[in-house]
Amino acid sequence: MVTVLFVHGTGVREPSYSNALARVREGVAAVRPDVRVEPCDWGSALGSYLRAEGASIPGFAAQGGQGPPAPDPRDEAVARWALLYADPFAELELFALTGAGAVPSSGFVPGPRARGDLLLDGVSGLDARDTVRGAWADAGLGELLTEAATAVRGAPAFRRAIVVDGDPAGALPRLTARALVAYALSRTDRDAGEVSAKARDELVDCVTDALGGDLRVVPEALTAAFRFSARLFENVLGSRLVVARRTPWSGRSVGFFGDIVRYLVRGEAVRAFVAEAVRAQPGPVVLLGHSLGGIAAFDLLASGVLLDGAGEQRAGSLPQVEALITVGSQAPLLYELDALPSRPYGSGLPSGFPRWVNVYDRRDLLSYTASEVFGSEVTDVEVDNRQPVSAAHSAYWTNDRFHSVLHDVLDQVSPP
């Protein structure tokens, strides 16, 4: 009888492993009821955990691993800049939307020029102001001043904002200044964080003054809209949520990152665990490795070196394994980075390596293609889990296309 040995990925613990195992068993039973699906839960025995009860994580012990800390007012500014780093014109777009109920300019009106026209001229003349040029040069962004001003002048969001007469408090110069600075930071070849928050904010102040703005506080109606959008963005992106809830997040996710690091340092024990599970099966085996489990299964088959019960290395082979299926696995990436324990880059697959099918989903950012780096001996199969990025990595087991691939491999191992 053929056995599918399910080797789970990083950070998986009970009950998640049993739930995934049940999904795999259901899918196999529907097409090949004669095939057994057996567990290989290496995480329960060898997975990482906080041996000092989280002493290295700020606030973890004090909070007992429960609940987020009190909100920090500085989070609002951080969230806003996270939004601006991704879209420098986001605040200008929000300004135009919140002022949509105002009456747009309807043409020439005798008298003083409209505030929007004056602001447009101000942006056009920034590179002629010595104080502005000097401030941008001091921040290391001098070469981007003209480009940023041109980009802001041509941005549809800016054009919409300056024709809406919805800025009685004069907030638009400051929003425009932030857009200019955010655009420049998005265009520099340095990371945005390499410009200090103090220098960034002083640059905004300098540009705001040059554009005729004198307020440091945006009206509450706009502030509420910006706060909501920034929070929504950071929650979706994950960074604000992770920081605000670092304690409970660390407790849940330490296994995810810890398993990876621990495997790269002490992976022999995991490979030996998988090898013993293979030997315990009575017949041919198909190794099904998800994520880090795929790396461990590949390394086991590619190295041919195992540990015995006393921790001593001995030559080993697993002729029972007739096929390897990796799912959402990073083995190809680690090979290209020359970071696989078993195979240095350029060595390819060893002779006698079993049939290998590598399953990936483009929205699973932890999945990679193998044939481009290992060669045509590997078959890459793309599936669509129809899940967003955040859920795609764990969605293979409910995908009929995946079970069809598994069925095809099983038919070639032992036709029904």
Q: Going from the N-terminus, what domains does the chain have, and what CATH number goes with each?
A: 3-52+248-413 (3.40.50.1820), 74-244 (no CATH)
> What's residue 112's pLDDT?
55
Asked if pLDDT for residue 41 goes beyond 80, the answer is yes
The DSSP secondary-structure symbol of 161 reads: H
> What's residue 12's pLDDT?
87
> What's residue 233's pLDDT?
45
Asked if pLDDT for residue 134 goes beyond 70, the answer is yes
The answer for residues whose C-beta is within 8 angstroms of residue 96's C-beta and 6 or more apart is 157, 160, 161, 164
- Say how many CA atoms lie within 13 Å of 398 toward its Cβ: 10
Asked if pLDDT for residue 13 goes beyond 70, the answer is yes
Asked if pLDDT for residue 63 goes beyond 90, the answer is no
Most confidently predicted of 9-13, 94-98, 101-105, 236-240: 9-13
Among 307, 314, 294, CA closest to 374: 294
Reported as a pLDDT band with limits 50, 70 and 90, residue 101 is very low
**pLDDT tens-digit readout, 155-168:** 998 998 888 755 55
**pLDDT tens-digit readout, 262-316:** 888 888 999 999 999 999 999 999 999 999 999 999 999 998 644 444 444 333 4
The answer for residues whose C-beta is within 8 angstroms of residue 198's C-beta and 6 or more apart is none
Is 331:338 a contact under the CB 8 Å cutoff?
no
Cα distances (Å, whole numbers) of residue 298 to 276, 318, 342? 15, 12, 8
> What's residue 10's pLDDT?
87
Cα distances (Å, whole numbers) of residue 216 to 172, 202, 229? 11, 12, 20
Beta bridge partners of 323: 286, 355
Rg (CA), the chain: 29
Q: Classify each residue of 156-165 as buried b or exposed e, where b means 16 or more C-beta atoms within 10 Å of its C-beta.
A: ebbebbbbbe
Q: Are strands 305-307 and 3-7 parallel, antiparallel or unpaired?
A: unpaired
Q: Is the dihedral of CA 21, 22, 26, 27 positive or negative?
A: negative
Reported as a pLDDT band with limits 50, 70 and 90, residue 23 is very high
Q: Which residue has the tokens 């002022």?
A: 99
170 or 1, higher pLDDT: 1
Share of the chain above pLDDT 70, in %: 73
- Rounded to whole angstroms, how far apart are CA atoms 351 and 353? 6
- Rounded to whole angstroms, how far apart are CA atoms 92 and 23? 48
Q: Which helix (H) or strand (E) holds 234?
A: helix 220-237
Asked if pLDDT for residue 334 goes beyond 90, the answer is yes
**In three state form, how does the secondary structure of 54-118 look?**
CCCCCCHHHHCCCCCCCCCCHHHHHHHHHHHHHCCCHHHHHHHHHCCCCCECCCCCCCCCCHHHH
114 or 354, higher pLDDT: 354
Reported as a pLDDT band with limits 50, 70 and 90, residue 357 is very high
Is 169:219 a contact under the CB 8 Å cutoff?
yes
Reported as a pLDDT band with limits 50, 70 and 90, residue 11 is confident
The answer for residues whose C-beta is within 8 angstroms of residue 240's C-beta and 6 or more apart is 75, 78, 79, 82, 231, 234
231 or 138, higher pLDDT: 138
Pull the structure tokens for residue 326.
């990796």
Among 392, 356, 352, CA closest to 374: 356
Report residue 286: phi and psi, to 5°.
Answer: -110, 120
> What's residue 344's pLDDT?
93
